[in-house]
Amino acid sequence: MKLLVLNGPNINMLGIREPGIYGTQTFADLLSLIEDTAKEYCIHIEQYQSNHEGDLVDKIQAAYGKFNGIVINPAAYTHTSVAILDALKAVGIPAVEVHISNVDVRESFRQISYAGLYCEKTIKGQGLDGYRQAIAYLVEKYA
Ligand code: CA2
């Protein structure tokens, strides 16, 4: 099984500021968690982070025919990007949306998720463990 883990803008800054919202773990910690989870399930996981919407769209398009599942935290693009939603729809790969924070109890502009309109599951407010849960869900359902 091959999964693609995608992270949007500023996720690479985790642990640097706003620990009350995003915790104290860093982006390097997230990459380790993803690697460890891949080993645990004996699957291949590629991860990609970008601050640029079009790069994320390109990566989703390139996943067509190559990956069995996508875990995506589009970060701020969650709340704005119809382009990411359309790319997910275009490739038709099963996807799970992850948010480190509980967006439901934050500002009203974080209540809309375009990617979430496609994703079959959304995990929010679980910290970095949300990524492990999303990977586990896809493995259990599609491996
Ligand atoms: O909770 C999440 O995972 C988010 O997707 C994180 C995004 C935010 O725009 C979404 O509404 C919810 C922000 C990514 C990280 O932003 C940082 C801000 C300050 C310090 C470090 C990271």
Q: Name the pTM for this structure.
A: 0.98
Ligand 1 atom with minimal separation from the 9 CA: 14
pLDDT score of 9 more than 90: yes
Ligand 1 neighbourhood includes 50 CB (under 6 angstroms): no
- 134 found inside a domain: yes
- 105 found inside a domain: yes
Confidence (pLDDT) at 91: 98
- 118 found inside a domain: no
- 119 found inside a domain: no
pLDDT score of 139 more than 90: yes
CA of 76 to the centre of ligand 1 (A): 7
- Pairing label, strands 2-7, 44-49: parallel
Catalytic residue among 41, 99, 114, 131: 99
CA of 125 to the centre of ligand 1 (A): 11
The verdict on whether 52 is a catalytic residue reads no
The CA distance from 51 to 66, in Å, is 23
User: Residue 38 burial (CB < 10 Å; 0-12/13-18/19+)?
Assistant: buried
- 15 found inside a domain: yes
- 79 found inside a domain: yes
Ligand 1 neighbourhood includes 49 CB (under 6 angstroms): no
Q: Which pLDDT tens digit goes with each residue over 80-113?
A: 999 999 999 999 999 999 999 999 999 999 999 9
* DSSP label of 107: -
What is the span of the domain harbouring residue 52?
2-113+124-142
- 89 found inside a domain: yes
Ligand 1 neighbourhood includes 128 CB (under 6 angstroms): no
* CB contact at 8 A, 6 and 59: yes
Ligand 1 atom with minimal separation from the 125 CA: 1
pLDDT score of 28 more than 90: yes
pLDDT score of 3 more than 90: yes
- Residue minimizing CA distance to atom 7 of ligand 1: 75
Q: Which pLDDT tens digit goes with each residue over 34-88?
A: 999 999 999 999 999 999 999 999 999 999 999 999 999 999 999 999 999 999 9
pLDDT category of residue 17 using cuts at 50, 70 and 90: confident
The total domain count for the chain is: 1
The CA distance from 17 to 97, in Å, is 23
- Residue 41 sits in a domain whose CATH number is 3.40.50.9100
Average pLDDT over residues 111-137: 98
Sign of the torsion angle spanned by Cα atoms 13, 25, 44, 4: negative
- 104 found inside a domain: yes
* CB contact at 8 A, 62 and 94: no
* CB contact at 8 A, 55 and 87: no
